[in-house]
Amino acid sequence: METDKFIQADRFAKLILDMSTLLLSSGAHCGRINRNVQRFADTWHFRIDLFISFTGVSVTVVDMNNPENKATSNRQATTHGVHYGILTEISLLSWKAYEEKMSIDEVEKLLSDIHYTPRHNKWTIRLGIGFACAALCILAGGDWINGSIAFVAATTGLIVRQQVMACKFNAMIAILLSAFVTTMISGMDMLYHIGQSPEKTIATSVLFLIPGVPLINSVIDLFEGYIPTALARGMFGGFVLLCIAVGMSLSIALIGVNNF
């Protein structure tokens, strides 16, 4: 059988690290990373001890058939975005490998393809987020005029964020600038009193920046017992919130709306 073939521990550890750092930087919680990786370990009879921190992953693999064959290494995860396409692909790959007893060569090849999972069209995302923020504004109690201003503000804000990120600026600076620009536009609503409830426009048009994934992942990690990552993710989410608040208060101070 193919799975009985000897697999060098170094090579397996490299594969595992590749996978877990990719998962970590596309917004998976630690329980998911552990489960996915464990499936590969079961497939090829390895014992895995994974230590996941927010900034990197460390792993020790031991061959169950040959305990001399073991390795420990670690790797950094630098970016922390959200990409659920990668998450889906890796989960499907892990089940496929587990059920079909794939060889490590095939898995390595498929994993290197997953790195280039296509993203949605830029403009689809921008318009989608615009409509989402407009809908949130109307759900919060604004009328159609407030909603359309929130649409323009959120779309522009997302364009700013993506462009600033593309220039390799710090992610927090991108969020701060984006919140600033968004509030500048939605603040016009407050300034000229267009529509029924202008303060709802200001409050809801920045919601696309809210770090929902890190915050919810933080609570899930708390439930599943990964306390260090839970704290780090909560801290990260809190800091993003702070950046949003600073950007907003800068622009509110500039516009001169002082009843907020």
Q: Does 111 bind other proteins (CB under 8 A)?
A: no
**List of residues 6+ apart from 148 with CB closer than 8 A:** 134
The tokens describing 228, both together, are 């260090």
Q: Does 224 bind other proteins (CB under 8 A)?
A: yes
Q: Which of 7, 17, 46, 130 binds other proteins (CB under 8 A)?
A: 130
Please identify, among the stretches 55-63, 100-108, 186-194, 209-217, the one whose residues bind other proteins according to the rule CB under 8 A: 209-217
> C-alpha angle 166/150/169, rounded to 5°?
15
According to CB under 8 A, which residues from 3 to 32 bind other proteins?
A: 27-29, 31-32
Q: Does 207 bind other proteins (CB under 8 A)?
A: yes
Q: Does 248 bind other proteins (CB under 8 A)?
A: yes
Q: Which of 53, 72, 131, 257 binds other proteins (CB under 8 A)?
A: 131
**Adjacent-strand bridge partners of 49:** 60
Q: Does 140 bind other proteins (CB under 8 A)?
A: yes
DSSP 8-state assignment for residue 209: G
Which amino acid does the sequence have at 147? G
Give dist(CA 25, CA 20) in Å, integer: 9
Cα radius of gyration (the chain): 23
Cβ pair 137, 201 in contact under 8 A: yes
Closest C-alpha to 81, from 165, 158, 16, 169: 165
- Closest CB to other proteins among residues 130, 187: 130
Shortest Å distance, C-beta 19 to other proteins: 15
Shortest Å distance, C-beta 71 to other proteins: 25
Alpha helices in 45-121 (DSSP H): 84-100, 104-114
Count of positions on this chain that bind other proteins (CB under 8 A): 54
Residue ranges that bind other proteins, judged by CB under 8 A: 27-29, 31-32, 35, 82-88, 91-92, 95, 119-120, 124-125, 128-136, 138-140, 203-204, 206-208, 210, 212-213, 215-216, 219-220, 223-224, 241-242, 244-246, 248-249, 260
